[in-house]
Amino acid sequence: MLNPRQLLPLLAIAATGFFCFLYYSTNIQQAWRGLPQVIGMGDAIKDEAKASPEASPTGAATAANPTPTKWKSIPHFEHGIGKPIDFNFTKVLVIPRKSDEEVDWIHDFLPEYQTAVYVVDNSRAPLHPPKNKGHEVMVYLSWIIDNYEKLPDVAMFMHAHRWTWHNNELLDLDAVEIVKRLNPNRVMREGYVNLRCHWDPGCPDWMHPGEMEDDKAKHEQKLLAKAWSELFPMDPIPNVLAQPCCSQFAVSSERIRAIPLQRFVSYRDWLLRTPLPDSLSGRIWEYIWQYVFTGENVICPNEHVCYCDGYGVCFETHDHFSKWKEDKFNMRGWEYELWDWHDKEELVHKAMVNGEYETLAEEDLPEPGRDKWLEQTIYRLKLDLAKRRDEAIERGNDPRFRAEIAGREWHEGDWF
């Protein structure tokens, strides 16, 4: 057994080693603080526009560079260039559908378009996602991953239904009209284009990731901050996220390839791993697509410009467009009133048959003659709205006017 004197050299060596460990571990930790901390989201990309030429390799502050280099997970995007009138764009429709959803409208009305229709609930279908989760997000990401090296000029990501409330009202809420009229040169110039022009819902101030209280209209809002920190760990959580709803957009091949493939793989991995249910994980992405493809947390283009440059429906001014919207809103209100009038009429008829007319309150009775006024007013306004829309479409055939509305410099011979 060793006596205390013999243990002294061993204790001294151990103490020296312990203090050396503390010294080096502290310095290593300090050195790593200057590096971008990436958590499964691909390589960090330095913001060259804000980085000093004398920046240290780690991006940490130095005597020559008093402020640290900024790092971000989203690249700096450049605007694209439109193509000439005779350019033959390659385009594809990327659409998720369930087995019981009909998509015959694509074949019947858009036979010239390439399609990638994924059946989300049938693993034996020629195209299907790795998992039916996250609504359309899983399909959109899977298509990008699978086709990254062979992208068309323009990819349109859309839902399976042809008519829906969140399609464009000036295009009769019709997906066929959206596809046919979409200006591919706007997609090439902007890189990313939301297919919906109307701001409500989604703009200009919609999601607030910092909110902790539940909002019945947007349950995903309180989950956004955590999801953001997982998807974009190097980027500060924004105060607001906004774009027109509802996850239908077009992207150019240049814009997709500006983002490393591994990043899309990481986004899909997050979707596969997250414990969030299908609906919420999908809804979270509804207001971050614009950030992925533009680096901006708010993308709310002027509705008038969106319709004109995007679809060739050009009102003379924004005020003319706003008046059309106001009149359409009023007409819809009168349509609801007419439906209510006929409901009251039916209620009165049933009460008279059953001998219960005396039990009806005054507010249950339809106003005599009001139905005729409503029918005539709706009819006249419907014709007027259609006339103004047709004039806007005719106006949109002029490339000079479209450029003027979009604030774009125009030269003789330019197209859209």
DSSP track, 90-117:
-EEEEEEE-TT---HHHHHH-TTSEEEE
Between the alpha carbon of residue 184 and those of residues 113, 187, 191, 366, the distances in Å are: 13, 5, 10, 51
Confidence of residue 150 (pLDDT cuts 50, 70, 90): very high
What is the pLDDT, as a whole number, of residue 15? 54
Closest Cα partner for 80 from 316, 342, 258?
258
- Statement: residue 226 has pLDDT above 60: yes
The C-alpha atoms of residue 339 and residue 377 are separated, in whole angstroms, by 14
Residue 29 has pLDDT above 50, yes or no: no
Average confidence (pLDDT) over 248-268:
97
For residue 353, count CB atoms less than 10 angstroms from its CB and return exposed for 0-12, middle for 13-18, buried for 19 or more.
exposed
Lowest-pLDDT choice from 10-14, 100-104, 177-181, 360-364: 10-14
Map out the domains of the chain as residue ranges: 91-311, 318-395
Mean pLDDT of 37-48: 34
Q: What is the pLDDT of residue 39?
A: 32
d(CA 347, CA 412): 64
Q: Is the pLDDT of residue 55 over 50?
A: no
pLDDT in tens, 161-187: 999 999 999 999 999 999 999 999 999
More confident position, 195 or 74: 195
Instruction: Please give the DSSP secondary-structure letter assigned to residue 157.
Output: E
Percent of the chain at pLDDT exceeding 90: 70
Inform me whether the pLDDT recorded for 12 exceeds 70.
no
What pLDDT score was predicted for residue 75? 83
**pLDDT, average across residues 68-94:** 82
DSSP secondary structure code for residue 358 in this structure: G
What is the pairing mode between strands 114-119 and 192-194? unpaired
Long-range contact pairs involving 399-402 (C-beta distance under 8 Å, separation at least 24): 401/308, 401/314, 402/308, 402/309, 402/312, 402/314
